[in-house]
Amino acid sequence: MEQLHEECGVFGIYTNEVSDVAADTYVALYALQHRGQESCGIVTNDDGILSYHRDLGLVCDVFTKDVLEKLGKGKIAIGHVRYSTADKANRSNSQPLVVRHIKGPMAIAHNGKLTNSKELRSEYELNGGIFHTTNDTEVISYAITEQRIQTKSIEEALEKAMFRLKGAYSIVMMSPKKLIAARDPLGFRPLCLGTIDGGYVVASESCALDGIGAEFVRDIKPGEIVIIDDKGIRSIETHCGNKCKLCVFEFVYFARPDSTLEGASVHRARIRAGHYLSLEHPVQADVVIGVPDSGLDAALGFSQQSGIPYGVGFIKNRYVGRTFIQPTQRERERSVHIKLNVIKANVKGKRVVLIDDSIVRGTTIGRIVTLLREAGATEVHIRISCPPFLNPCYFGTDIDSRDKLIACRMSEEEIKNHIGADSLGYLSVDSVNRIAENANCEFCDGCFTGNYPAEIPQCEQKDKFEAKINSTVK
């Protein structure tokens, strides 16, 4: 719930006949809107002619009926929804990117974050490269274009470029005749394959496939490159072989509950998180409620395991943007009150267990506790369906420094007092790694443990041209 977001969502479609691929991509992006509410974009491909539109805003606002009609019909399209992790929200950073080089046009979008982006970018700039964005996608496009000039195909260029790319990336891209999808060798971020009317789709989550009536086929393997064209579908597995290390927070928060990741139901994983929370942090209470929407499934699981009745504690105003959008703390607090309204009849005079997915800075959860007490709750017991954040994430989640994490500055007792709760309990690291029953993967839990499955950068530097010029510089 609290000011935590992830890089992006991606989608691609290839049809055997010319069709309204822009409309299908629009619906799929709408299903992936939870993965990015800052900007969005669609590129369509009509016999090698690429048309695109991208802008800041939600899918339903950016893509009006007129815009979708101008994008036209075609056989291939890709789309993207975005949050930024390190750079500013501006139109130039919207994706997909369209790149035109000596061997033809290419469109590309990605979800994740490179750990060697700074080094690659500096190398390309010193060789005369000019960057128009501050996102990693443009760096990836340079790496692919560099290889494309020397190779026979776009997929071969991507295969060679992947030897240089480090970190997390799920990529969708297209050339004039092909749709291509690729996942980093450790599979930090999800990517799946589906089929529709004899064609194919790729998406960050299976819920996007459901939205357009596509049938789920399988998850794309870590390191796999999938190529779809008029000859059918094939894979390059040069970079395959590593065990998947999916970000565990996909199951805790990022993914939609109706999605399936690596063979495991997201909804069931959150129910299991609630079960484990109840076993690890039992409490005497009258009602269990969840913070909409990410805490609801875990709250149901906590109720099932504990026997404490499940109740609806809040009504969520779905027409209010996420709290991180508000620029000042006062505005963020006000937006929480507007966004969530307590159902007083369900909490007045009761001991309440409140379930949420995480505590980052402690501001939003503190305000929610206050709302419950003002509504007459006699006790408020906080239970969090993941461990405390103690380390930065380098692979696409905006946990960028330890000094912004409340668990790095306070003990659990101090956090409990700070947010005004009667008790506080986090899910253990061991349990969070077991919530996705029968998942075909292991997990990255570096933000909790500091143990990362891949090399991390020694320092994170913001783009110097994104900051205001210091007044002391002559």
Cis bond upstream, residue 258 (ω within 30): no
Closest CA to 296 of 283, 314, 280, 320: 314
Q: Count of alpha carbons within 13 Å of 467, Cβ hemisphere only? A: 9
Side chain identity at 436, as an amino acid letter?
A
Q: What is the CA radius of gyration of the chain?
A: 23
Residues with catalytic roles: 8
Tell me the CA distances in angstroms from 416 to 61, 113, 353, 467, one per residue in order: 40, 33, 13, 36
Nearest to 119 by CA among 459, 452, 394: 459
Q: Are strands 423-426 and 264-265 parallel, antiparallel or unpaired?
A: unpaired
